[in-house]
Amino acid sequence: YKRQVLLSDDFSAIIIGVEEGRKIFDNFKKVIVYCLISNIAQLAPFTYMVIFQFPLPLSSILVLCIGIGTDLLPSVSFSYEEGELNVITRNPRHKTDHLVTKKLIIYSYVTNGIMLSLCGMIPYFVVMHDFGWDFWGMFYTGQIK
């Protein structure tokens, strides 16, 4: 069992502590979901290049710069987000519940990760089409000539 040390004799300090703990746990989950979603969207162009051999939209260094520039500040901002309204009225989570669950991974990778990677790749194909590349002609070319 976990022991809790109280610095005051006010019972409301326990409620405030539980509320803050649940808020921190929820914010950790939001940061993890955000990082997983952005990672799958950054990995998708390379995966498509290997499988379909069409020209690479971004170089590795550019993806790294975008990842560092766009993942760092939003992840930090999630940690300062206010808690939901029902955070204290929810039932306590079970001892065996983990921070990263199967549901969270499926939500991140399958639903939002695929949607975000498509939202990035569709403009790539539109721009390539505007510059004279046929969509079906891009497959198995390997590089832009």
> 71-96: per-residue pLDDT in tens?
777 777 877 888 888 888 888 888 88
The overall pTM is greater than 0.75: no
pLDDT for 128 beyond 80: yes
Which pLDDT score, from 0 to 100, does residue 143 have? 54
What b/e readout covers 96-127, taking b as 16+ CB neighbours within 10 angstroms? eeeeeeeeeeeebeeebbeebbeeebeebeee
